[in-house]
Structure 1
Amino acid sequence: MTEMPGVRILADDLTGALDSAAAFATPLSPLPVLWRAEHGLPAMAAIDAATREVDVDTAVARQGRFTDWLLAGEPAFKKIDSLMRGNWAAELGALAVMAEGRRLVVAPAFPFQGRVTRDGRQWKTDAAEPLGGAIHAALRDAGLIHADIGVHDAESDADLDAIVTREMSGHRPRLWVGTGGLAAALARARPAPAVPASAPTGSPRHDAPLLALIGSNHPVTRTQIERAMAPDPRRHVRLSASPSDIDRVLERLARGQSCIVTVAFEGPRADAALVIAERFSGLLARCPSPCTLFVAGGETLRDVADAIGADSLAVEGAREPGLAMSRLRAGRFDGARVLSKSGAFGRPDLLHELFEEASSGR
């Protein structure tokens, strides 16, 4: 049982579920993160409804399976994409119908990752144009005309803290809508739990070998790969259809050397997703459990979990905002540590630092 009772998070993808849940979790009180619901849902959890990459009707239907569960949470948190991708407006329109009487608090900024909200529009701090139109207009087009909605600008964590404080002073029940930035602000506003004297401090060490499975082709992740490869290009293996590529990965891991694995494929994105899943599955079928698994991309993390028979993750916190630390539950890699992030998240040197830390044993 976690020390943050009542938190329920509904996310549009798996890495988003993890980086939002991380704010409410510790190694001593992990929070379950699920993507299936065959056996019922726990009182406190984060759920990946996998709504981002599908059509609007499918997204709304998938979300609808979890709406009653979500709205019974305290806090109830709907996680949307910080780049405003996917079907977020239609999903909020459907939620508002079921959440009648609640105030929707919309604050999608994630300042640590360079996502801010200015004048009701989402921005990347390094971009000259906003990420789409006005948030209010998108919600109005989705049917939220008479709903009680607060769309909040924020450019810092202090701004998000102030939003939470102000909104919590009201008496109406709320549905919080945002990203890992707002989730962290909500967690900071809750009473701090008592920490046993024996509790570990600091970020856990990530021993070699670290196996990095990269399904994202986002420029942010490509830069991270390039920086991590710079000291030794042999760290990177691109999986083709040849079994010899898997052999190269396994040889590195057997020597205790960390490895970055991507997939060699040129073609439509939909086809690429299938090929990535197939090749990572082939690798994992022959792979022993690494000391640490690093995965970039929510769809990739789902594919990896399915390939090794995991049925959930237990998130234990965040290495830094947007980089969740969790452990696999069930399957061949049961208990293995996982670091995960969105393909669009992270500092340029992030992967390089993790590789150097693993190899040095720090």
Structure 2
Amino acid sequence: MTDAQRPNILILADDLSGAAETAALFLDRDVTLGIDIGAVHGDSDVRVIDLGTRAKSGPEAADRVHTAVRDLPPQVRVIKKIDSMLRGNIAAEVESLLGTGPIVFAAGLPALGRTVENGVPHIDGVPLDRSGRWALETTEAPASIADLFGHVRTISVALEDGIDGLTAAVDSGAVAVFDVRSDADLDAIVDLSALLPGVRLVGTAALAAAVARTLRPNELGTLPIEPVPTLVVVGTAEAVAAQQVSELERSGATHVRIHVDHLLAGTDPTPVRNAVDGGAAILTVTGPVDPARSNAIATALAELVALAISDKTVGLVLTGGETARRVLDALGVNTLHPITEIHHGAVVSRTAAGGYVATRPGSFGGPDSLVAMTAYLRGVESTPSFSNSEALA
């Protein structure tokens, strides 16, 4: 493959665990691959940028997306990765993309039961706004894709409408919205959208996976890593995380609990350092978490981790995209190179300095998820992970 024939794909993610989840979809393709934090730092065939917009305001998110794409040459294929439960600043981000090219929106993640039918997002057949999965959000779940976008105009397009129907929708200035019931639907949407010059694809990791399937496979396997002591940082309020932590404790990891008030006041990193010296440590935050303080809590947690491992060679397991981003910011890491996926969404990457970081969305994985991720970094045997789907909180 000549340089001119190599794919040129830029994927915009709103948090780090989502960026890693999406990058991992290209691990078995014949491409160079990198995750950049904040802005493009490398020249890989497939570049995934964590723009860190999930926790930002709508205008801030829109500005970051616009900045990321405004100077791109026309041959770059742009994918905006969104959360599978439609959290974040999706409407603002898509509106900022509308001035740069036609928008095709396909929000399903069928493998995990997320579908869109007649313009309504579902989880395991239940409409998203009645699923209870937005209980930790400060706003209500959208009842439909049109509801999600508010004043941003959308037009529903069916695959059987073909290129004529799709062209008519985007020529009107609207976001073209497709229903998604299966991965086959996503494959067809990607094929149809490829006929539109400059198209911007917006969807979950499953849409990026459909793009990956159009690329040539890579037969190279994953090389083993050098085992390292491991620190697991649990920065998610998802209920499933408690069971995952219990399983990891049962496997022998030392659990360090920091009360949120002590964390915000500044706490001694020595207990965390000592726990890491034992081979495997877990760090969690206890006490009531006010959503209004989540930003300060994530920052304080990241600073504690940086102090605890400042002079150590440690493998990190980071759950929750915001926590992962803050920790890497505190450590001065701005590029990751994915090397393997333990289970869906649980991605191990290498840093430029040769360290290892495993990331995973907070709600992903079964009870053994953290055990499997930690075992991989430590180079020890573990029960094969069956965490190939997102657990229900």
TM-score, structure 2 length as denominator? 0.76
Q: Deviations over 1:237-284 (max 9, x none)?
A: 1124389873333223223x2111112343422324323422432332
- Residues 239 and 279, structure 1, Cα contact 8 Å, conserved in 2: no
Q: Deviations over 1:317-340 (max 9, x none)?
A: 5333322221223xxxx2211111
In 1, the alpha carbon distance for the partners of 2:52 and 2:9 equals: 19
In 2, the alpha carbon distance for the partners of 1:359 and 1:58 equals: 39
Cα pair distance change 1:211/1:78, threshold 3 Å: same
Matches within 5 A, 1:320-339: 320-329=343-352, 334-339=353-358
Is 2:12 the partner of 1:10? yes
Structure 1 partner of 2:321: 298
Is 2:176 the partner of 1:174? no
Q: How many residues were matched structurally?
A: 346
Is 2:195 the partner of 1:185? no
In 1, the alpha carbon distance for the partners of 2:291 and 2:244 equals: 21
Q: CA deviation at 1:207?
A: 3.4
Q: Deviations over 1:64-84 (max 9, x none)?
A: 211224674543101111111
Q: Deviations over 1:159-201 (max 9, x none)?
A: 3223323443x354421111211111110112335x4xxx4x2
Q: Deviations over 1:71-116 (max 9, x none)?
A: 74543101111111111012112211222xx3x2212222333322
Is 2:169 the partner of 1:151? no
With 71-80 and 293-302 compared, the bigger mean Cα shift is at 71-80
In 2, the alpha carbon distance for the partners of 1:261 and 1:11 equals: 26
Matches within 5 A, 1:26-175: 30-37=32-39, 42=43, 44=45, 45-69=47-71, 72=74, 74-99=76-101, 102=102, 104-125=103-124, 127=126, 129-130=128-129, 131-139=141-149, 141-144=151-154, 146-147=172-173, 149-168=175-194, 170-175=195-200
- Residues 208 and 258, structure 1, Cα contact 8 Å, conserved in 2: no
Structure 2 partner of 1:237: 256
Q: Deviations over 1:22-51 (max 9, x none)?
A: 2224699552222334x8774752222222
Amino acid at match of 1:162: A
In 2, the alpha carbon distance for the partners of 1:349 and 1:40 equals: 34
With 271-280 and 176-185 compared, the bigger mean Cα shift is at 271-280
Amino acid at match of 1:215: G
In 1, the alpha carbon distance for the partners of 2:316 and 2:327 equals: 10
In 2, the alpha carbon distance for the partners of 1:182 and 1:204 equals: 30
Structure 2 partner of 1:285: 307
Is 2:284 the partner of 1:258? no
- Residues 313 and 355, structure 2, Cα contact 8 Å, conserved in 1: yes
Amino acid at match of 2:106: A
Structure 1 partner of 2:247: 227
- Residues 54 and 89, structure 2, Cα contact 8 Å, conserved in 1: yes
Cα pair distance change 1:158/1:222, threshold 3 Å: farther
- Residues 10 and 79, structure 1, Cα contact 8 Å, conserved in 2: yes
In structure 1, the gaps of 5 or more residues are none
Q: CA deviation at 1:7?
A: 0.7
SS class of match (2:283):
strand
TM-score, structure 1 length as denominator? 0.82
